[in-house]
Amino acid sequence: MNNPAYNQIAAILEQQDALAELVFGPQALPPTGAEKALNSLTSEIEQFAEDLANGKFHYAAA
Protein backbone atom coordinates (compact mmCIF):
# COMPACT_ATOMS: atom_id res chain seq x y z
CA MET A 1 0.00 0.00 0.00
CA ASN A 2 1.35 3.43 -0.87
CA ASN A 3 -0.22 5.39 1.97
CA PRO A 4 2.43 7.07 4.17
CA ALA A 5 0.32 6.82 7.34
CA TYR A 6 -0.41 3.14 6.72
CA ASN A 7 3.27 2.47 6.04
CA GLN A 8 4.29 4.26 9.24
CA ILE A 9 1.74 2.33 11.31
CA ALA A 10 2.91 -0.95 9.77
CA ALA A 11 6.53 -0.11 10.62
CA ILE A 12 5.59 0.76 14.20
CA LEU A 13 3.68 -2.51 14.60
CA GLU A 14 6.66 -4.46 13.27
CA GLN A 15 8.88 -2.72 15.80
CA GLN A 16 6.37 -3.46 18.53
CA ASP A 17 6.50 -7.16 17.64
CA ALA A 18 10.29 -7.09 17.64
CA LEU A 19 10.31 -5.31 21.00
CA ALA A 20 7.96 -7.90 22.48
CA GLU A 21 10.37 -10.60 21.33
CA LEU A 22 13.28 -8.75 22.96
CA VAL A 23 11.41 -8.29 26.23
CA PHE A 24 9.63 -11.63 26.52
CA GLY A 25 11.40 -13.96 24.08
CA PRO A 26 14.07 -16.58 24.74
CA GLN A 27 16.84 -14.03 24.09
CA ALA A 28 15.28 -11.33 26.31
CA LEU A 29 17.33 -8.23 26.95
CA PRO A 30 18.18 -7.17 30.47
CA PRO A 31 15.73 -4.58 31.82
CA THR A 32 17.90 -1.62 30.82
CA GLY A 33 18.08 -2.75 27.19
CA ALA A 34 14.36 -3.44 27.07
CA GLU A 35 13.66 -0.07 28.67
CA LYS A 36 15.75 1.75 26.06
CA ALA A 37 13.97 -0.09 23.24
CA LEU A 38 10.57 0.71 24.72
CA ASN A 39 11.49 4.38 25.15
CA SER A 40 12.63 4.54 21.54
CA LEU A 41 9.41 3.01 20.25
CA THR A 42 7.33 5.28 22.49
CA SER A 43 9.14 8.32 21.06
CA GLU A 44 8.44 7.14 17.52
CA ILE A 45 4.75 6.63 18.28
CA GLU A 46 4.54 10.10 19.85
CA GLN A 47 6.23 11.66 16.81
CA PHE A 48 3.85 9.86 14.46
CA ALA A 49 0.85 11.09 16.48
CA GLU A 50 2.20 14.64 16.33
CA ASP A 51 2.79 14.39 12.58
CA LEU A 52 -0.72 13.03 12.08
CA ALA A 53 -2.24 15.83 14.19
CA ASN A 54 -0.29 18.43 12.20
CA GLY A 55 -1.67 17.16 8.89
CA LYS A 56 1.53 15.59 7.60
CA PHE A 57 -0.50 12.70 6.18
CA HIS A 58 -3.32 13.25 3.72
CA TYR A 59 -5.84 10.66 2.63
CA ALA A 60 -7.35 10.44 -0.81
CA ALA A 61 -11.04 9.68 -1.05
CA ALA A 62 -11.63 6.12 -2.18
Q: Where are the domains of the chain?
A: 4-53
Query: What's the chain look like in SS3?
Result: CCCHHHHHHHHHHHHHHHHHHHHHCCCCCCHHHHHHHHHHHHHHHHHHHHHHHCCCCCCCCC
23 pLDDT above the threshold of 70 = yes
Read off the pTM. Answer: 0.51
Give 37's contacts (C-beta < 8 A, 6+ positions apart).
19, 22, 23, 29
pLDDT of res. 22: 76
Give 56's contacts (C-beta < 8 A, 6+ positions apart).
4
pLDDT of res. 20: 78
